[in-house]
Chain A
Amino acid sequence: MTEAALAAQKDAVRLDLYRSMQRIRLVEEEIAKRYSEQEMRCPVHLSIGQEATAVGSCAALRNDDQIISSHRGHGHYMAKGGNLKAMLAEIYGRVDGCCGGRGGSMHLFDDSVGMLASVPIVASFVPLGVGAALAYRHFGQDRVCIVYLGDGATEEGVFHESMNLAAVHKVPVVFFIENNSYSCYIGLADRQPVRPLTDMAKAYAMPSASVDGNDVEAVQAVTAQAVARARSGGGPTLIVADTYRWREHCGPNYDNDLGYRPMAEVDAWRARCPVDTFGAKLVADGVLTEAGKAAINAEIEAEMAEAFAFAKASPFPDPKTVADRVYA
């Protein structure tokens, strides 16, 4: 490949990162905007402000690699390539939802792209990822699983059990902590001793890395190393990515009026918006123009309009099916 072709390819990858983050941002903002219509009648945990962690890390994966997520899973689902129509239909409680309306916003999955599951009990899903990765080795596959968890989940016993099990059995899993510093309204310093979260990896003789979770390319690079290690039999890695949740823990609104976090802190993180800062960098590098941004937005808006219309047009599941599929 010529130098020019390589450069063009690199630009295309960077544009994809931007497009993917902007897609998550616009979709979640649209969810927030339409939430008051009271047609999406399930809790939503928006990841606005945290797009770079999902997009950067998923960019380091193959389609057949898997991810597992939590209650705050829209971004992971979309970053891994999950079907947007199926996600929105699920949030609207419709039959075409990825769970047929049985799971809602907190139970997203799309097996065709390796979005294995999301589970809304904090840290409950962490050992599922370890087991999913155990199965790859059993069947001779070179796949990798990323488990996304928040800082709160690292306080759960099952997280530590899973770290230990993954380390002992050397399974190809990456524990990816999205540290947004708050568990609902309670800050990290009120819940854990002050030390780098990566120190927890030392207890399990596991390699770790910390990264600016608002820098999508840095996230991708760090994740790519961990994924390569896992894929080649080197076992698990702990990644800690610091980032920030802009809106309330659960719901479409801002909740800074509650006073649980200082406005200066909120403003500082918003000034470091992962989407806008990366967009500005691409503009500065001559990869993206303002017209290009507008074109991307238009493309996403069109996809969204179609997907929301699809979700709202999808029928509700038949009440007669409510008792189906309790047992396989």
Chain B
Amino acid sequence: MPEQRVISAAQAIREATDLAMAADPAVIIMGEGIADPKTIFGTTDQLMEKYGPARVMEMSIAENGFTGMAIGAAMNGLRPIIVHQRVEFALLTMEQLVNNAAKMHYVSNGAHKAPIVVRLIVGRGWGQGPAHSQSLETLFAHIPGLKVVMPASAHDAKGLLLSAITDDSPVVFIEHRWMHYVKGHVPEGWAALPLDGPARLTQGDAVTVVSNSYMTLETIRAVEALAAEGVAVEHFDLRVVRPLNVDPIVESVKRTGRLLTVDTGFATYGVGAEIVARVMERCCLTMKAAPRRIGLPEHPTPSSRSLAAAFYPRSPDIAQALAELAGLDQARITAIHNRLAEEREALPFDVPHPSFQGPF
């Protein structure tokens, strides 16, 4: 078998963009800093040199304005990709996304389309604090007409972005900053993946866990720790938050009777809340334990590392919840938690953990 190529998710995103722009002259990319020396963490590197300023548009600091501009251009046949270096910048664009992009096709009874992709980057760590490190996928996922995609691997980042760009509906594509570093096997060429929902990462009959984006990487560590103890966890990476496909999760929970959700964002009204509700509607009578949710707590993100350490759930917390759901005795639960906690605490938590680089 030939050796598979390994690249980072950031490189995979750049490659998908390049492929889509080469394939279709209607694809343009617009954002603040896409052609600056940092090129959005390298994800737009060399695109200006290759495609020029008419298709690689460095934008004024006018997020709502240029989002509306992208929607109008899309109505006339372009396929704009918008990039925001932080998800918070997109809060200024909610008016355009919610009132125009999400409704254009529906209101016109199918006559109009708004095929835009909005790439949003979620920051984390290094004291970025209250307004530079939120994960706000639920705000977008609440709106019919928008699609919301959250890749967790280099492979999915490329494949899902290709499909997002060719999709005729507006797609919000949320990239966790720490996911950019993750390396993995990524096929060359046009390797689109359908926006069809969760991917089953591991099989098992003990517990079902559903995670998304960066928290999938934390969950992988926890699932490995459980596996080392002989507990087989069925792990889904959600990937597509809207439209939400819970069918494979329901099928799994019918077998396991136990469900844990792990969100990148706030637990309250979060993605996990919706998944638990949907699953319970279909299999609450066969549950062996009450479902559990892990997500961010009920306060903003603090900057100081002493405070932030208490803010983010990590693999030891996930492993503990999984072990408790699986019904392990307290000694084993503590042992699993402590082993992961020891591994994590040996390293600073406010920079990406080296184990998260893959390849996955």
Contacts and interface: CB of A to CB of B under 8 A. Distances in A.
A168 B18 CA distance: 26
A135 B105 contact: no
Contacts of B4: none
Q: Which 8 A-B pairs have the closest CB atoms?
A: A131-B72, A127-B68, A161-B65, A135-B76, A328-B168, A100-B109, A128-B72, A161-B62
Contact of B106 (A121, A129, A169, A325): A325
Nearest to A127: B68
Nearest to A101: B109
Given A158-B65, A161-B66, A117 B106 contact: no
A111 B111 contact: yes
B68 A162 contact: yes
Contact of B72 (A103, A134, A137, A324): A134
B63 to A, nearest CB: 8
Interface in A88-147: 99-100, 102-103, 107, 109, 111, 116-117, 119, 121, 124-139
B65, B78, B113 — most chain A CB neighbours (10 Å): B65
Given A128-B69, A162-B65, 8 more contacts: A100-B109, A102-B107, A127-B65, A130-B68, A158-B65, A161-B62, A327-B147, A328-B167
B54 A138 contact: yes
A233 interface: no
B248 interface: no
Interface string B139-171: 000001101000000000000000000011100
B78 A138 contact: yes
Given A128-B72, A162-B68, A325 B112 contact: no
13 contacts: A66-B76, A127-B65, A127-B67, A131-B74, A139-B77, A158-B64, A161-B60, A161-B66, A325-B105, A326-B106, A327-B145, A327-B168, A328-B110
Interface in B108-147: 108-115, 144-145, 147
Interface in B36-75: 54, 57, 59-60, 62, 64-75
Interface of A: 66, 68, 99-100, 102-103, 107, 109, 111, 116-117, 119, 121, 124-139, 157-158, 161-162, 164-165, 168-169, 324-328
A134 to B, nearest CB: 5
Contacts of B243: 327
B96 interface: yes
A158 B68 contact: yes
Contacts of B65: 127, 130, 158, 161-162, 164-165
Given A158-B65, A161-B66, A328 B109 contact: no
A132 B72 contact: yes
Nearest to A159: B65
A103 B69 contact: no
A100 B109 CA distance: 6
Contacts of A99: 107-109
B322 to A, nearest CB: 35
B95 interface: yes
B54, B62, B67, B113 — most chain A CB neighbours (10 Å): B62
Contacts of B306: none
A177 B136 CA distance: 36
A311 to B, nearest CB: 16
B112 A127 contact: no
Nearest to A68: B72
A164 B69 CA distance: 12
A157 B80 CA distance: 22
A109 B66 contact: no
A124, A128, A133 — most chain B CB neighbours (10 Å): A128
B100 interface: yes
B68 A326 contact: no
A326 B99 contact: no
A92 to B, nearest CB: 15
A325 B319 CA distance: 42
A317 to B, nearest CB: 8
B164 to A, nearest CB: 13
Nearest to A133: B72
A109 B103 CA distance: 14
Contact of B96 (A109, A117, A127): A127
A324 B111 CA distance: 12
B238 interface: no
Nearest to B114: A328
Nearest to A147: B72
A102 B65 CA distance: 26
B73 A157 contact: no
A52 B351 CA distance: 63
Contact of A135 (B73, B95, B108, B168): B73
Contacts of A103: 107-108
B28 interface: yes
A107 to B, nearest CB: 5
Contact of B111 (A109, A121, A169): A109
Given A124-B99, A165-B69, A326 B105 contact: yes
A175 B314 CA distance: 52
Contacts of B114: 328
B217 to A, nearest CB: 29
Given A121-B99, A124-B95, A134-B73, A164 B62 contact: yes
Nearest to B53: A169
A328 B169 contact: yes
Contacts of B62: 161-162, 164-165
A172 to B, nearest CB: 12
A124, A158, A169 — most chain B CB neighbours (10 Å): A158
A325 B104 CA distance: 10
A221 B168 CA distance: 40
A2 B99 CA distance: 53
A168 B77 CA distance: 22
A328 B68 contact: no
Contacts of A133: 72
A128 B68 contact: yes
Contacts of B26: 138
A168 B109 contact: no
Given A107-B107, A130-B69, A157 B78 contact: no
Nearest to A130: B69
Contacts of B106: 102, 325-326
B110 A119 contact: no
Contact of B78 (A111, A119, A125, A134): A134
